[in-house]
Structure 1
Amino acid sequence: MNKKEIFSFAFLALFGIIIFYISGLVGILEFILSLCIYSLVFFTLHIIWTYLRKKESMDISSFLKKFLSSMASIIFLLVFILGGFAYYNNEIEPAPMPNITLSNGEKTIIFQAMSHVGTRSFYDKVINDIKERKTNGYVYFFEGVQGGTEENTQKFDKAIGIKFDKNLYKNFSKLYGVVYQDNNEFLGHINDLDFNVDLTIDEIIERYEEGGVEETSTTPPMDVNEEILNTLAELNDRQLKVLVYINQAILNFLIKSDGLRDVITEHVGNAKLFDVILNKRNEVLSSAIIKSEYDEIYVTYGLLHFEGVLKLLQEDDNTWKEIERFNYFPIQ
């Protein structure tokens, strides 16, 4: 064997050991079986191809050496790309959640962008910030869509395509090795000046149905909770750790990638419903800020809402501007 073949076989052996460590005997057997199946498929294709072109085909031994060498190169490349992607987004440049101070000279708003799932330390920092600000005279505005009638809840689930219940983010967080955002943790600190500034499910459906809604799908909403629980039940602890690390990298990447995030949110799913969930709620928050009797307000709202809220504030009063910004990191 030449050096390339020795390296290839050594890498495949190492990769097999890693699979065994993560997935056990079943994992390594599945890996070996996959290599056998693909080698037979490609060897058959090789025989057919050489026959049609009237060329001499390789013997099985020579073909296997070339095939395994090629597979080692492909697996190495994939591992390098995926591992590099995950390491960069988790360790070198994780996604920030900005804490932004806005002012028009009369009122001061601190907008803490939020993620529905994040590390315990991220939420603890936000809680401590709320306590400090409320000690210094701030009131607290927070997002939180309240429930509606059973009929409207079913309409909402159908429009968004998933069964949306209180356990969704809790279960979702398990796939990311973090915790979920529990608004109750942010309430009642220092004083009771906490205000839920948001729409209800009934109000969202009312705005969504304005002008009529064309039914385009008869598919029932997906039970994401069940899918998540089934996935978790199939994974051992080591497999879950690998999945969590990759999922965290993907989430960090999506949070940072404004353009890709906008394409996904606007073109994947129900655009009209998304307009209500984003833009109509921006109107609710900006109106509450403008009309509030309080001059110092601490706001926790989703990251996607900031630009729209700032735009609406500036349309009302062009002296609104950003005066300070720093970042927390929810997935780090």
Structure 2
Amino acid sequence: MLVLLITSVVTFPYFYLAVKSETAPLVLPQAVLSDGNKTVIFQGMVHVGSENFYKSVVYDLEEALDEGYKLYYEGIMPSSPDADKWFSDTIAGGASLSDNYRQLADVCGVKFQLDYFKLLIHDIQARPERHATVDVTTADLKKEYERLLVENPVFAAAIAEEGDNKSEKKGLSDDAANKIFSFVQHANDNQKNIIGTLCRGFFVYALKVTPDKKPHTLDPLLLDFRNKHLAQQIQADSNPKIYITYGAGHLPGLIQLLREGNPAWEVKSLKWIRGMAAPEHLEGQL
């Protein structure tokens, strides 16, 4: 994923991406859902984004804890060595997802989500029952992946086609990515600003959720399967107030699944928050 993003970035016109990131910025949903008995706040997330966005999310989470909410976090959990290796090779591109995202944040001139969630560590230690990583394990994903390959011909064909394309492009992509990272490490401030603008603009283009956006090959696995698990945990949880931080793309499917289980679920309110912007540097004179 990291290699694909970086090599794609350099093909987009600079000014288009610069304008795109400012005039049509990446915005993330904050939805309040309720079935009359239980209230769920869903804060859509992005793994790399603006410092102001992450600070505002952490502030909201701290307020939610004071109001009695239980916090749900996203994060595929490790299991067996075999399943962990499969996940690294098949989903994470042979590396740690956290390392990929942190490196990507440095290139784009933005921040990595988990660095800000560390601000909650004292509350997690003091009240562990109010915090939960609600996601599947690598073993769960591997089992579902293998099931989809057998029972879902469309998924199997898409995976086969994607595998052929990856094998053709891997050497070139790896070489290009290494050169880009090397250039960034030795770039001057002006060059880094240009690279950051390109990267942030591409993120706006690639991550924006629209009704006509083409589904990703792995959506049945990484979205649909995990949404089912998340919906089941929400329904089973005895806490009437839940605050979720999850990838923004999970929200439409989650709402649908909750309503299938209980038609009383409604979206009570919805607002949008800017998730990515250029780093702010202001100067003045007295």
Is it true that 1:90 corresponds to 2:21 in the alignment?
yes
In 2, the alpha carbon distance for the partners of 1:178 and 1:237 equals 15
Which residue matches 1:181? 113
- 1:1-332 equivalences under 5 Å are 82-83=14-15, 85-160=16-91, 162-165=93-96, 166-182=98-114, 183-189=117-123, 191-192=127-128, 193-210=130-147, 212=149, 216=160, 217=163, 219=167, 229-233=181-185, 235-259=187-211, 262-263=213-214, 265-266=215-216, 271=217, 273-332=218-277
Give the partner amino acid of 1:230.
S
- Equivalent pair of 1:122/1:329 in contact (CA under 8 Å): yes
Provide the TM-score with structure 1 as the length reference.
0.66
Shift of 1:235: 3.1
Shift of 1:187: 4.6
- Equivalent pair of 2:33/2:268 in contact (CA under 8 Å): yes
Q: Kindly tell me: are residues 209 and 169 of structure 1, through their superposed partners in 2, closer, same or farther at Cα, counting changes over 3 Å?
A: same
Give the partner amino acid of 1:202.
A
In 1, the alpha carbon distance for the partners of 2:194 and 2:18 equals 12
Unpaired stretches in structure 2, ≥5 consecutive residues:
1-11, 151-155, 278-286
Shift of 1:259: 5.0
- Equivalent pair of 2:89/2:95 in contact (CA under 8 Å): no
- Equivalent pair of 1:141/1:197 in contact (CA under 8 Å): yes
Structure showing greater radius of gyration is 1
Shift of 1:153: 2.8
Provide the TM-score with structure 2 as the length reference.
0.76
In 2, the alpha carbon distance for the partners of 1:153 and 1:227 equals 29
In 2, the alpha carbon distance for the partners of 1:173 and 1:237 equals 16
- Equivalent pair of 2:228/2:257 in contact (CA under 8 Å): yes
Shift of 1:226: 5.2
- Equivalent pair of 2:209/2:249 in contact (CA under 8 Å): no
RMSD value, Cα: 2.9
- Equivalent pair of 1:171/1:228 in contact (CA under 8 Å): no
- Equivalent pair of 1:187/1:194 in contact (CA under 8 Å): no
In 1, the alpha carbon distance for the partners of 2:183 and 2:77 equals 29
In 2, the alpha carbon distance for the partners of 1:323 and 1:274 equals 27
SS of the residue 2:108 aligns to? coil
Give the partner amino acid of 2:39.
T
In 2, the alpha carbon distance for the partners of 1:242 and 1:108 equals 43
Runs of 4 or more, structure 1, over 6 Å off, are: 220-225
Which one is further off, 122-131 or 175-184? 175-184
- Aligned residue pairs: how many? 246
Q: Kindly tell me: are residues 161 and 99 of structure 1, through their superposed partners in 2, closer, same or farther at Cα, counting changes over 3 Å?
A: closer
SS of the residue 2:193 aligns to? helix
Unpaired stretches in structure 1, ≥5 consecutive residues:
1-78
- Equivalent pair of 1:134/1:191 in contact (CA under 8 Å): no
Which residue matches 1:63? none
Q: Kindly tell me: are residues 257 and 212 of structure 1, through their superposed partners in 2, closer, same or farther at Cα, counting changes over 3 Å?
A: closer
Which residue matches 2:281? none
- Equivalent pair of 1:117/1:173 in contact (CA under 8 Å): yes
SS of the residue 1:100 aligns to? strand
Q: CA offsets, 1:195-250, max 9 Å, x none? A: 11001112111111126567844848986985663342353332121011121122
Shift of 1:112: 0.1
Q: Kindly tell me: are residues 236 and 306 of structure 1, through their superposed partners in 2, closer, same or farther at Cα, counting changes over 3 Å?
A: same
